[in-house]
Structure formats: structure tokens, C-alpha cells
């Protein structure tokens, strides 16, 4: 049996929640698992920790062979280390990005020493692995396994998806090229920078374009101000957080996924799960060439990488793909096949189980 302890799980929404749910659901098809999860606000984390500890102890003292304990991220590493000390079992965690670079002094004092005593750190990208090595985790204990994604066998109707997006935006999008960004509205995601600098260059050459931004966060007010300053209110829709069905419809309705990330000290983009989700819906990507995005977007396979500070190059790449329908569609179908082969959850769970089995032995 493998015990999974996760503080981010559905019904709460986010990339870590999707990874935890996908991993535990697929692993349950391969071996016996026990999931101890929290799917609510992180404000209640101090209550979840003792609850998770007691649930894990109860599972460990009952009959049944537990082979390994996996905690979902380094924030839970003190809990994992405590269970390791008590029960002499191997412990593993998945490292996502910010959870290894978070700059708070107390976090830096507590978490890296715990991680150095773990048996396995699963890093979601090469950049995340480099950060783990930089805090002293031995290289043999750091393996690289990217996130997984579900790829539906049947594609959703683009016409229906367009109608759903029109309802969300409250305007007709007939004949309009749709650019889409998905993620929290924080500085690292780059939506503010894109609207202020890149989008005006695109609109100047391609008037019939619309930028959809899915997600909420602290930058929303600044983005709205930037839209007004640039006179782009008619070209941008801030849709907020969407349910899973509406998000899928947005991927299908769009022509390109835009990941205009910018580097922010202490706030690493560990991977970029939305790149896999977009690829699964045959949506090609134009993304900033930095950090963990380099593992999520493979040029020629599912998108194009452009230096984050090359604003003109970013606009040119987007305009080129918008103008060349055949190339765009071909890249979209290549993207779908690429993630089916390399990022399907069945394959990712198999790699996790292989790594777990090795350290358990």
C-alpha cells in the first residue's frame, strides 16, 4: 500500500490539485492506495496537519503492508519526516516550483533540511530539479517526472465551444481569432505585461482578434487599468475562474494558448500544466522561453518558445500562426499526439510506481 497525503485536492481548484487527483486516481488502478486529502481553503492547514498525522498513524498501525508514504509537496515535508522517523518507512514528495524557492526565512530554515532526509523527490521539471540540488538534496534522490494530463478520445465540437465562449464574454466572436491565457492573475504569469506591450502590436496588424484570460488573482485590478489605458477593453475579456467544462470549451474555441510569463525572483514557474491541457485539446502554444515552461512546451511538437523580453518576437510568432491556418492546425494535432504519448496519466503513474518500487526495495 502507498499512503498519499495531500493538502491540495478537489473540490478546490489549481494545478497541484489536478496533479494530486490525477496521480492518486491512476495509481489506484496499479496498486493499493490510501488517500488522506484536504480540498478546502489553505487557511485550515493547521487543522489538517494533525488530522492527517493521526489518519496516517491509524493506517500504519493497522494490518496491511504499507510500502511508502508520499506527501504532495514540500510544505508537508515535516509531517512526512515525522512519519518516517516513527515507522521507518521511505517517504517521497513531489516538488512543483515555488515550494522549493519560497524565500521566507523560516521556510528556508525548516523545509530544505527536511527534504534532504527524504528518500525521493519527484521534480516536475529540470529547472525544479536544479533548485532541489541547490539546497543540498543528493542527486540520486531527485528524479524528474512531469505532470500528466487526461486526453479525451473524442474532441469537443468547436462550434459549440465558440457558442459557450460567446455566452461567457457576452459578445459575438464570429470570424474572430481567439488568444487564450489560463492561470492565476499574478505577476509571474505575465498577462499584465502582455496586454500592455504585446497585444497592442498584434491588434495593430490583426484587428479581428480577442484575448481571453481565465483565472482570478491580485493582478486583476491592474490588468483592468492597463486595458483602459491601452484602449483595449473591446479586445480583452477577463473571465475569472471557470468550471472544468467551461475551461475545456475555452481550449477548444481558442486558436492559440499564450503563456507570456515573466521571471519573478523567488516565484518560479515549475512547469505550466496549462500547456499540457491545451495540447490535449489540439491547441498550439506560444510561450515564454524560461524556467519550467521549457519542459512543458517543446518547439515543433506542441508550440513555440520566444524569449520573455522579446516583445516584437512574441507578437510576430503569434501573428504568423494566426495567419497560417494549415500550420496552426498541424501543430495543434501534433501537440495532441505528443501529450498522449509522453504525458498521459497512465504513463506518468507507471513512472511514479517504478520510482516508488525502487526506493521501497
pLDDT digits (tens, 9 = 90+) for 320-355: 999 999 999 999 999 999 999 999 999 999 999 999
What long-range pairs does 57-66 form, CB within 8 A, spacing at least 24?
57/83, 57/86, 59/1, 59/3, 59/34, 60/3, 60/86, 60/87, 60/89, 64/1, 64/32, 65/1, 66/1, 66/2, 66/3
Query: Average pLDDT, stretch 174-191?
Result: 95
The answer to whether 232 and 205 have CB atoms below 8 angstroms apart is no
Residue 153 lies in a domain: no
Cell of 150: 487526461
Can you tell me which residue has the cell 495593430?
204
What is the pLDDT at residue 217?
Answer: 93
Statement to judge: residues 245 and 118 lie in one domain: no
The answer to whether 182 and 257 have CB atoms below 8 angstroms apart is yes
137: closest CA among 111, 159, 157, 166?
111
**Boundaries of domain holding 258:** 158-342
Plot region of 50 (φ>0 → left; ψ -120 to 50 → alpha; else → beta): alpha
Statement to judge: residues 287 and 268 lie in one domain: yes
Triad 49, 266, 98: Cα angle to 5°: 35
Statement to judge: residues 328 and 187 lie in one domain: yes
Residue 165 lies in a domain: yes
What is the pLDDT at residue 268?
Answer: 87
Query: Average pLDDT, stretch 154-181?
Result: 92
Cell of 300: 515543433
Residue 38 confidence (pLDDT) above 90? yes
Statement to judge: residues 140 and 193 lie in one domain: no
Statement to judge: residues 217 and 233 lie in one domain: yes
Tell me the C-alpha to C-alpha distance, in Å, between residue 60 and each of 87, 120, 230: 8, 20, 59
Mean pLDDT over the full length of the chain: 94
Q: Which residues contact 112 (CB under 8 A, 6 or more apart)?
A: 135, 136, 137
Residue 117 confidence (pLDDT) above 80? yes
Give 14's pLDDT tier (boundaries 50, 70, 90): confident
Statement to judge: residues 129 and 169 lie in one domain: no
Statement to judge: residues 142 and 170 lie in one domain: no
Residue 163 lies in a domain: yes
3-class state of residue 208 by DSSP: coil
What is the spatial distance between Cα 49 and Cα 94, in angstroms, rounded to a whole number?
18
Can you tell me which residue has the cell 527524504?
118
What is the spatial distance between Cα 187 and Cα 264, in angstroms, rounded to a whole number?
7
Statement to judge: residues 85 and 178 lie in one domain: no
What is the pLDDT at residue 312?
Answer: 96
Statement to judge: residues 229 and 122 lie in one domain: no
Residue 53 lies in a domain: yes
Across the beta sheet with 236-240, what order do the strands follow? 236-240, 209-214, 177-182, 256-259, 285-288, 303-306
pTM for the full model? Answer: 0.89
Over residues 40-65, the pLDDT tens digits come to 999 999 999 999 999 999 999 887 78
The answer to whether 286 and 316 have CB atoms below 8 angstroms apart is no
Statement to judge: residues 311 and 162 lie in one domain: yes
Residue 303 lies in a domain: yes
**What's the domain count of the chain?**
2
Over residues 192-249, the pLDDT tens digits come to 999 999 999 999 999 999 999 999 999 999 999 999 998 998 999 999 999 999 999 9
Residue 234: how many other CB atoms lie within 10 Å: 10
Statement to judge: residues 139 and 253 lie in one domain: no
Residue 106 lies in a domain: yes
Statement to judge: residues 315 and 232 lie in one domain: yes
- Percentage with pLDDT > 70 across the chain: 100
- Percentage with pLDDT > 90 across the chain: 90
3-class state of residue 293 by DSSP: helix
The answer to whether 228 and 195 have CB atoms below 8 angstroms apart is no
CATH code of the domain covering residue 14: 3.40.50.2000
Residue 137 lies in a domain: yes
Cell of 240: 475569472
Amino acid at each position: 500500500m502507498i499512503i498519499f497525503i495531500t493538502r491540495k485536492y478537489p473540490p478546490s481548484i489549481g494545478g497541484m490539485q489536478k496533479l494530486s487527483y490525477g496521480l492518486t486516481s491512476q495509481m489506484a488502478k496499479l496498486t493499493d492506495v490510501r488517500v488522506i486529502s484536504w480540498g478546502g481553503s489553505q487557511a485550515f492547514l493547521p487543522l489538517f496537519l494533525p488530522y492527517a498525522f493521526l489518519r496516517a498513524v491509524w493506517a500504519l498501525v493497522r494490518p496491511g503492508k504499507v510500502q511508502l508514504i508520499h506527501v504532495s509537496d514540500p510544505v508537508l515535508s515535516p509531517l512526512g519526516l515525522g512519519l518516517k522517523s516513527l515507522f521507518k518507512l521511505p517517504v517521497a514528495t513531489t516538488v512543483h516550483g515555488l515550494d522549493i524557492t519560497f524565500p521566507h526565512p523560516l521556510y528556508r530554515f525548516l523545509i530544505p533540511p527536511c527534504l534532504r532526509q527524504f528518500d525521493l523527490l519527484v521534480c516536475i521539471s529540470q529547472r525544479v530539479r536544479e533548485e532541489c540540488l541547490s539546497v543540498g538534496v543528493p542527486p540520486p534522490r531527485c528524479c524528474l517526472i512531469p505532470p500528466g494530463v487526461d486526453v479525451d478520445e473524442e474532441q469537443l465540437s468547436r462550434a459549440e465551444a465558440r457558442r459557450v465562449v460567446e455566452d461567457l464574454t457576452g459578445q459575438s466572436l464570429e470570424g474572430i481569432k481567439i488568444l487564450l491565457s489560463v492561470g492565476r492573475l499574478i505577476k509571474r504569469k505575465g498577462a499584465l505585461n502582455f496586454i500592455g506591450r504585446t497585444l497592442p502590436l498584434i491588434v495593430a496588424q490583426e484587428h479581428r482578434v480577442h484575448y481571453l484570460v481565465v483565472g482570478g488573482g491580485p493582478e486583476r485590478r491592474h490588468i483592468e487599468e492597463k486595458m483602459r489605458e491601452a484602449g483595449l477593453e473591446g479586445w480583452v475579456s477577463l473571465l475569472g475562474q471557470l468550471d472544468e467544462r467551461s475551461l475545456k470549451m475555452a481550449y477548444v474555441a481558442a486558436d492559440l494558448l499564450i503563456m507570456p510569463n515573466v521571471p519573478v525572483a523567488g516565484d518560479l514557474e515549475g512547469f505550466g500544466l496549462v500547456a499540457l491541457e491545451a495540447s490535449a485539446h489540439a491547441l498550439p502554444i506560444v510561450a515564454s522561453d524560461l524556467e519550467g515552461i521549457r519542459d512543458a512546451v517543446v518547439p515543433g511538437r506542441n508550440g513555440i518558445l520566444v524569449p520573455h523580453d522579446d516583445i516584437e518576437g512574441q507578437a510576430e510568432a503569434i501573428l504568423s500562426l494566426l495567419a497560417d491556418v494549415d500550420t496552426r492546425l498541424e501543430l495543434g494535432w501534433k501537440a495532441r499526439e505528443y501529450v498522449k504519448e509522453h504525458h498521459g496519466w497512465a504513463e506518468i503513474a507507471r513512472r511514479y510506481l517504478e520510482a516508488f518500487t525502487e526506493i521501497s526495495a
